[in-house]
A and B are shown apart, each in its own frame.
Chain A
Amino acid sequence: MTSALAVHGLRKRYGPVEALRGVDLEVGAGELVGLLGPNGAGKSTLVKILAGLVRATNGSAEVTGARAGSSSARAALGYLAELFRFPGWYTADEVLELHQRLAGSAGGAAERRRLLELVALAEAADRRVDAMSKGMQQRLGIAQALVGEPRVLLLDEPTSALDPVGRRIVRELLERLRDRGTSVLLNSHLLSEIELVCDRVAILRGGEVVAAGRPHDLAKPRGVEIETDQGTQLIEGATRETVPRLVADAVAAGRRVYNVRVLASTLEDVYLEVVGGETT
């Protein structure tokens, strides 16, 4: 089966700077993959190559089997740029109508209404873009990316301008899209968000994928914490499998067990470990 997104040996050079150094990545149908990495790691460049905005120096990038940037690849895509703007004089409804016409979507007013409801902008359909807050514009950008029900969605920092409520709206939206079979490549700095919604993550550093996998596979066990009437004890090296024996031992020793927690490193721990605290 053809991957929704497939990147092999992808390289991109901007003059003397090598932004991507042979990246391999696949996103399956209906899969939600998070892209992580410090500033300058090459995340946006990778997304832009897939969107056809930037030409790769070497390697291949495909969207639903078509060369990234080709007409059929673009027809399958929805894209939210990291830095984007819509003309300030357009209303939210007009922005979506423009993109419907460019995308060849026959969804009409019903699709526009549904998309605005999805991003909680139903009440702002007739509001001009220049009268919207940054967060509203960001949500309108997400709605624009969803015009024409694309099979693949590229979201570059979709929640950067959103407040906690806006982030939750987007998170729920992403889960709904996954359920519908839409593939999503999500580029974000918000580790907790990626951890919550993504099936897999890929961490880029210096233009290379330095870690990839499912969030809980990347996490490492850090022991088991047992809370008894004698206090809380951390048993390092213990795993989920050892919990029954640990509890049985504690009870046999006459202690009352109130709580047991299996500890694992968070995605943030993994990220900091592979990125080495790098920031630019």
Chain B
Amino acid sequence: MNAVAVIVGYGFHEAVRRRVFTVVLVLTVAFLGLFWLANHYVFSDLASIQPPRDVHVDTRTFAGSFLVGLAMFATLFLGVVLAVFLTLSVVTGDAERGLLQPLVVRPVGRSTLLLSRFLGASLVCVGYVLAVYFLAICIVALTGHFWPDVIVWPGLELAGGVVIVTAISCLGSVLLSSVANGIMVFMLFGGGLVAGLLGSIGHALDSHAIKHAATIASWALPFEALYQDGLRMITEHQTGLNAFLLQLGPFGGAYVHGSPIRIWAGIYLLLVGAAALALFTRKDL
């Protein structure tokens, strides 16, 4: 346990000294400031927003749910950026620079080392995602007097999605150099978002084939499915066409949901973790 704490501290120290947190803090403050401004203008001029005539929903719910959805996407994106930059070089990148070898030969062992780096990055990312998510919810509530139907679970699912990305990045770092790993993870993240958009198109067109393809992609990349499930829950109590429109979400629809995806996300995390540990244990450094 002591070794885990030492390595978690090492990773944290590294992030502080590389000013990762400073950059993230500045960008987050900028995002939240702009988000507050957007909310301020939207809710001070609600009369100008006209939901479709056949949608029986009040304007405040219509605007508020879209803004929360937007905040969720931004939170996921910022969380993923943080996760990737904290973990993209934990194995191959650090080994190429000669930082890893002196640590690996110590008695702590490779599994402890990798798990600790993952744990440290995950703790930071989960804290960050939850903080930004709840601040964004508060901004919407304070400026527009709108609260999502479900508040806590969407935040937890966003955090879970970022933890999965962290695990994928750790696995990628065993196999790829820093740059290649960063590109790989961001392309997977982009692929997940595209799958969400594909699902939206499939639902709009009522195309079974497109919906099926989007569902498979979401299960293959469960961070996207968790994000979708979070989107679903912010307007969970809406029904019919209202729910259909609101759950489209700004960047991908809310179609994969419920306990099965949460359970699958847990299994997926274990599988990715096991693969990373197995490959790292066998890797020549």
Interface, chain A (partner B; CB < 8 A) = 14, 48, 51-55, 71-72, 74-75, 77, 79, 81, 83-87, 89, 98-99, 101-104, 141, 144
A-B contact count (CB 8 A): 68
A98-B104 contact given A55-B284, A87-B99, CB 8 Å threshold:
no
Residue in B closest to A154 when the chains form the complex, CB atoms: B105
Enumerate chain A residues within 8 angstroms of B103, measured Cβ to Cβ. Answer: 102
Residue in A closest to B94 when the chains form the complex, CB atoms: A85
Pair A86/B99 contact, Cβ less than 8 Å: yes
> Of the candidates A14, A48, A103, which one forms a contact with B106 in the assembled complex, judged by CB atoms under 8 Å apart?
A103
Interface centre among B13, B14, B99, B102 (most CB of A within 10 A): B102
Enumerate chain B residues within 8 angstroms of A53, measured Cβ to Cβ. Answer: 101, 104-105, 284-285
Chain B residues 106-158 with CB under 8 Å of chain A are 106-109
A-B contact list, 12 entries, CB within 8 Å: A14-B284, A54-B284, A71-B107, A74-B105, A74-B109, A79-B102, A84-B98, A85-B97, A85-B98, A86-B99, A87-B17, A101-B3
> Of the candidates B2, B7, B107, which one forms a contact with A74 in the assembled complex, judged by CB atoms under 8 Å apart?
B107
Pair B285/A83 contact, Cβ less than 8 Å: no
Residue in A closest to B283 when the chains form the complex, CB atoms: A55
Enumerate chain B residues within 8 angstroms of A89, measured Cβ to Cβ. Answer: 13-14, 17-18
Pair A71/B109 contact, Cβ less than 8 Å: yes
A104→B106 CA distance, assembly (Å): 9
Does chain A have a CB within 8 A of B264?
no
A196→B98 CA distance, assembly (Å): 29
Does chain A have a CB within 8 A of B53?
no
Please encode chain B, from 75 to 98, with 1 for each CB lying within 8 Å of some chain A CB and 0 for all others: 000000000000000000000011
Pair A79/B14 contact, Cβ less than 8 Å: no
> Of the candidates B7, B14, B108, which one forms a contact with A87 in the assembled complex, judged by CB atoms under 8 Å apart?
B14
Enumerate chain B residues within 8 angstroms of A86, measured Cβ to Cβ. Answer: 99, 102
Please encode chain B, from 1 to 18, with 1 for each CB lying within 8 Å of some chain A CB and 0 for all others: 011001100100110011
Pair B99/A99 contact, Cβ less than 8 Å: no
A85→B89 CA distance, assembly (Å): 14
A98→B3 CA distance, assembly (Å): 10
How many residues does chain B have at the interface if contact means C-beta atoms less than 8 Å apart?
Answer: 24
Residue in B closest to A78 when the chains form the complex, CB atoms: B105
CB distance from B103 to the nearest CB of A (A): 7
A-B pairs, top 6 by smallest CB distance, nearest first, are A89-B17, A102-B106, A85-B98, A84-B98, A53-B285, A75-B107
A99→B14 CA distance, assembly (Å): 15
Residue in A closest to B10 when the chains form the complex, CB atoms: A98
Residue in A closest to B282 when the chains form the complex, CB atoms: A55
A104-B17 contact given A48-B285, A53-B284, CB 8 Å threshold:
no
Enumerate chain B residues within 8 angstroms of A102, measured Cβ to Cβ. Answer: 3, 6-7, 103, 106-108
Enumerate chain A residues within 8 angstroms of B6, measured Cβ to Cβ. Answer: 98, 101-102
CB distance from A34 to the nearest CB of B (A): 21
Pair B106/A74 contact, Cβ less than 8 Å: yes
A71→B108 CA distance, assembly (Å): 7
CB distance from B156 to the nearest CB of A (A): 33
Please encode chain B, from 253 to 285, with 1 for each CB lying within 8 Å of some chain A CB and 0 for all others: 000000000000000000000000000001011
Enumerate chain A residues within 8 angstroms of B10, measured Cβ to Cβ. Answer: 98
A104-B107 contact given A53-B285, A98-B10, CB 8 Å threshold:
yes
Enumerate chain B residues within 8 angstroms of A87, measured Cβ to Cβ. Answer: 13-14, 17, 99
Pair A54/B109 contact, Cβ less than 8 Å: no
A99-B284 contact given A74-B107, A87-B17, CB 8 Å threshold:
no
Enumerate chain A residues within 8 angstroms of B285, measured Cβ to Cβ. Answer: 48, 53-54
CB distance from A47 to the nearest CB of B (A): 11
Pair A85/B99 contact, Cβ less than 8 Å: yes
Enumerate chain B residues within 8 angstroms of A83, measured Cβ to Cβ. Answer: 98
Enumerate chain B residues within 8 angstroms of A52, measured Cβ to Cβ. Answer: 104-105
A14→B13 CA distance, assembly (Å): 35
CB distance from B116 to the nearest CB of A (A): 11
A101-B2 contact given A86-B102, A87-B99, CB 8 Å threshold:
yes
